[in-house]
């Protein structure tokens, strides 16, 4: 049974890309369109890893990370943020919220796989 990854992004094309890439590697991917959707899906079934965009309507990525980290079930779950900002503030905000790592957009599928492998094997 593959590991379960929750992919959160308001952009359909990115969600598709993440799903397509990771499923090919044998992971199970659940997609959510924004933070609150993600919280919902995270509760339904535990994910081994969360990959989230930062800028999203309803609940943004930072808030999502903070909320997940306060949930005992997700305290030690790797959370990776997808960010176009290489700017430090955003990265730091995410890290402070409890993100494990980050991937700067644009990224190549191999880069996504490398990060996922690094964090959940």
Partner 1 sequence: MDRQKELYREEAYELLDGLEDSLMELEKKPTDMDVVSRVFRAMHTIKGSGAMFGFNDIASFTHTIEAVYDLVRDGKIPVDQNLISLTLASCDLIREMLDASHDGAAPPEEKTELLTSAFVGYLPDCRENGTGKQEASTPESVTHPGSETTEQTWRIRFKPHRNIFSNGTNPALLLRELGSLGTCSIVSHLEDLPDLSLMDPETCYVWWDVVLTTKADYNALRDVFIFVEDLCELTMEVIDAPGETNDENPLYKRVGEILLERGDISTDAVEKALRSQKKLGEILVEGNTISPSAVQAALAEQEQVRSARKRRLAGDDTSSVRVPSAKLDSLVNLVGELVTVQARLSQISARRNEAELIGVAEEVERLSSELRDITMGIRMLPIGASFAKFRRLVRDLSAELGKEIRFVMDGEETELDKTIIDKLSEPLVHLIRNSIDHGIESPGIREQNGKSRAGTIRLSAMHSGAYVFIAVSDDGRGLDAEAIRSKAVAKGIIAPEQALSENELYSLIFEPGFSTAAEVSRVSGRGVGMDVVRNTIDSLGGTVEVTSIPGQGTTVTLKVPLTLAIIDGLLVRIDEDSYILPLSVVVECVEITRHDQEAIPGRHLVRVRNEIIPYIPLRKVFRLDSAPPDIEQVVITEITGNRIGFVVDKVIGQHQTVIKSMGTLLKRIEGISGATILGDGTVALIIDVNRIMHQDECAVSSRVAHEAMAPAPCPAHGPVSPHA
Running DSSP on this structure, what letter comes out for residue 84?
S
Q: Report if residue 57 touches partner 1, rule: CB under 8 A.
A: yes
Q: Report if residue 101 touches partner 1, rule: CB under 8 A.
A: yes
Q: Report if residue 67 touches partner 1, rule: CB under 8 A.
A: no
Cβ atoms 14, 83 nearer than 8 A? no
CB of 53 to partner 1, least distance (A): 8
Q: How distant, in Å, are the alpha carbons of 15, 49, 110 from that of 3?
A: 17, 8, 18
Residue 64 or 82: the one with the smaller Cβ distance to partner 1 is 82
Burial letters 47-70, b for 16+ CB under 10 A, else e: bbbbbbbbbbeebbbbbbbbbbbe
Q: Report if residue 117 touches partner 1, rule: CB under 8 A.
A: yes
Residue 4 or 95: the one with the smaller Cβ distance to partner 1 is 95
Cβ atoms 68, 74 nearer than 8 A? yes
Q: Which of 1, 26, 76, 88 forms a contact with partner 1 (CB under 8 A)? A: 76
- In the complex, the residues that contact partner 1 under the rule CB under 8 A are 10-14, 16-17, 20, 53, 55-57, 75-79, 82, 84, 86, 95, 98-108, 110-111, 114-115, 117-121
């Amino acid at each position: 049974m593959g590991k379960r990854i929750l992919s959160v992004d308001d952009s359909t094309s990115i969600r598709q890309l993440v799903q397509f890439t990771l499923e090919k590697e044998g992971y199970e991917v659940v997609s959510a369109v924004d933070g609150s959707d993600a919280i919902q899906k995270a509760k339904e079934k535990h994910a081994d890893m969360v990959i989230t965009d930062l800028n999203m309507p309803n609940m943004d990525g930072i808030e999502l990370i903070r909320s997940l980290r306060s949930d005992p079930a997700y305290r030690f779950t790797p959370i990776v943020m997808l960010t176009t900002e290489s700017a430090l503030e955003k990265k730091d905000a995410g890290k402070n919220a409890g993100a494990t790592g980050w991937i700067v957009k644009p990224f190549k599928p191999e880069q996504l796989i490398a990060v996922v492998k690094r964090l959940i094997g």
